[in-house]
Amino acid sequence: MLKTRKLAMSRHYRSAKRGLSRKGRRSSSWKGLSQQFKLKRFFQRLKLAVLLVLGVSLVWGTLYLWKFFTQPFASAASSFQNNESWDGKTPLNLMYLVVSDVSELAPTTHGVGLLTFNPTQGSFSAITVPSTYPSLHNLYALGRLSEDRDGLRRVRDELADLMGVAINGYVLVGEAGLAKAGSLFPADGDVKDYITFANLRYLPTVWEIGRQNLLTDLGVGDILRIFWYIISLRSDNTNILSLSPEVLQDQVLLDHKITPFIQDEQMVGEHLKIQILNGSGVPGVAAQAARIIKSLGGEVIRVDNYERRDLVKGFLVTDSSGTYTAAQLSKIFNLADSRPPRSGSEARANITVILGLDNSY
């Protein structure tokens, strides 16, 4: 009887132990599943956070690259902005302006001039004008302090009138940036001497200096074409011309000095007769346009007033619409329309340029 009771107690103990063991395993299994679920949820959240960061970075990176490749440098606050890309085949004239600091409202002007890239001659020329010349001295600062604050356009207009050239764009540089860039390269030497394989290591530094100290309306395509054009030039086709105040005061002498550098040899080769008629009602417009065309090598046979004086948009009258000269004149004077010549005065020339109020150059 006693043995039977002990056997029953032993079975009860073992049964209770197995029950506790199963309960412990269930509890341990539940804790494991709970921890596994929490860990999985943590990794899901982490993955979402990483995807969010990557998405934001991709968007910002794309926007930055787009801005970098469409406008690598900031442009100046001015109504003078060139919206056309340079084709690398026709002459390009850029106004350059060196000021104390591009971020100042009214900085001091330290240099002004013209950079001419002339593929028809295979040449590059830097034509400098004294920054102390009366009509240009601190004109940029004065323009910035005016009501429209458009000092850049004022300098462009004055330089174009002074030199008798069409200016296609601008490069506005801070003097501090020039000093930093100059410290990387030798003080003397040709332009091409700076563009060497050894100097490629300075490219990121120069680019960053430019982004902080340079304003321009050039796009990345223009900059790359200019860079390629410069490195492909022969060293004897790089020119630097400094104009004295005496030369600037004599228009005939000035035109004689600069025409060899800016002349369009392809226009000269076509040898077409050109007449300019002023339909804007503003005196002197046709004469200034004639001076520009003559400096390019065009043959101007007549300068006169048009039968109307209230034209807003000018146009081209020509039977040579497919010529290089006609295309260049349309581009320079912003002439979108053209028609064949009528009999009479219009038939005297191969091309007649009729100017209105909206035609800028």
User: Which CATH number is 210's domain given?
Assistant: 3.40.630.190
Average the pLDDT over 347-351 and give the result. Answer: 87
Average the pLDDT over 147-173 and give the result. Answer: 92
Which residues on neighbouring strands pair with residue 160, listed in sequence order? none
Q: What percentage of the chain reaches a pLDDT higher than 70?
A: 74
The alpha carbon dihedral of 229, 230, 236, 241 has a sign of positive
For residue 38, name the pLDDT band (cuts at 50, 70, 90). low
> What is the model's pLDDT at position 293?
97
- Out of 33-42, 183-192, 203-212, 330-339, the most confident range is 330-339
- Out of 31-35, 41-45, 188-192, 272-276, the most confident range is 272-276
CA distance 261 to 195: 23
Q: Does the pLDDT value for residue 155 go beyond 90? A: yes
Beta strand 123-129 with 238-242 is parallel
> What is the model's pLDDT at position 48?
64
Nearest-5° angle of CA 199, CA 200, CA 202?
75
> What is the model's pLDDT at position 2?
44
**Please, which residues have CB within 8 angstroms of residue 321's CB and are 6 or more apart in sequence?**
338
Which residues on neighbouring strands pair with residue 302, listed in sequence order? 275
Q: Are residues 112 and 61 in the same domain?
A: no
> What is the model's pLDDT at position 212?
85
- For the beta sheet containing 92-99, the strands, ordered from the edge strand earlier in sequence to the opposite edge, are 214-216, 169-174, 92-99, 109-118, 123-129, 238-242
Here the tokens at position 34 are 């709970």
> What is the model's pLDDT at position 148?
80
pLDDT per residue over 294-347, tens digit each?
999 999 999 999 988 888 898 998 887 789 999 999 999 988 778 877 777 777
Q: Is residue 185 part of a domain?
A: yes
pLDDT per residue over 258-295, tens digit each?
999 999 999 999 999 999 999 998 999 999 999 999 99
Q: Is residue 154 part of a domain?
A: yes
Q: Are residues 65 and 111 in the same domain?
A: no
CA distance 277 to 292: 14
Average the pLDDT over 80-109 and give the result. Answer: 90
Q: Does the pLDDT value for residue 95 go beyond 80? A: yes
Cβ–Cβ under 8 Å, residues 119 and 89: yes
Q: Are residues 100 and 30 in the same domain?
A: no
Domain count across the chain: 3
Q: What is the DSSP letter of 316?
A: E
For residue 7, name the pLDDT band (cuts at 50, 70, 90). very low
Q: Does the pLDDT value for residue 81 go beyond 70? A: yes
Residue 194 has a CB neighbour count (10 Å cut-off) of 15
Higher pLDDT, 322 or 8: 322
pTM value?
A: 0.76
The enclosing H or E element of 303 equals strand 299-305
Buried b (16+ CB within 10 A) or exposed e, 231-255: eebeeeebeebebeeebbeeeeebb
> What is the model's pLDDT at position 71?
57
> What is the model's pLDDT at position 234?
85
> What is the model's pLDDT at position 204?
73
Q: Indicate the length of the chain as a whole number.
A: 361
For residue 229, name the pLDDT band (cuts at 50, 70, 90). very high
Q: Is residue 222 part of a domain?
A: yes
Q: Is residue 138 part of a domain?
A: yes
Q: Does the pLDDT value for residue 164 go beyond 50? A: yes
Higher pLDDT, 298 or 73: 298
Q: Are residues 240 and 131 in the same domain?
A: yes
Average the pLDDT over 232-255 and give the result. Answer: 92
Q: Are residues 313 and 285 in the same domain?
A: yes
**Please, which residues have CB within 8 angstroms of residue 88's CB and are 6 or more apart in sequence?**
119, 225, 228, 229
Here the tokens at position 8 are 């029953």
Q: Are residues 180 and 150 in the same domain?
A: yes
Phi, psi values for residue 79, rounded to 5°: -80, -10
Specify the range with the lowest mean pLDDT, choosing from 107-121, 177-191, 236-250. Answer: 177-191
pLDDT per residue over 111-139, tens digit each?
999 999 999 999 999 999 998 888 888 89
Q: Is residue 241 part of a domain?
A: yes
Here the tokens at position 44 are 């899901």
Q: Are residues 234 and 268 in the same domain?
A: no
**Among candidate residues 356, 235, 351, 348, the one with its CA nearest the CA of residue 293:** 351
Cβ–Cβ under 8 Å, residues 213 and 174: yes
Q: Are residues 134 and 231 in the same domain?
A: yes
Q: Does the pLDDT value for residue 196 go beyond 70? A: no
Give the residue numbers spanning the domain of 180.
Answer: 92-246
Which residues on neighbouring strands pair with residue 351, listed in sequence order? 274, 318
Cβ–Cβ under 8 Å, residues 279 and 318: no
Cβ–Cβ under 8 Å, residues 126 and 113: yes
> What is the model's pLDDT at position 190?
60
Q: Is residue 351 part of a domain?
A: yes
> What is the model's pLDDT at position 300?
96
Q: Are residues 135 and 235 in the same domain?
A: yes
Which residues on neighbouring strands pair with residue 7, listed in sequence order? none
Q: Does the pLDDT value for residue 22 go beyond 80? A: no
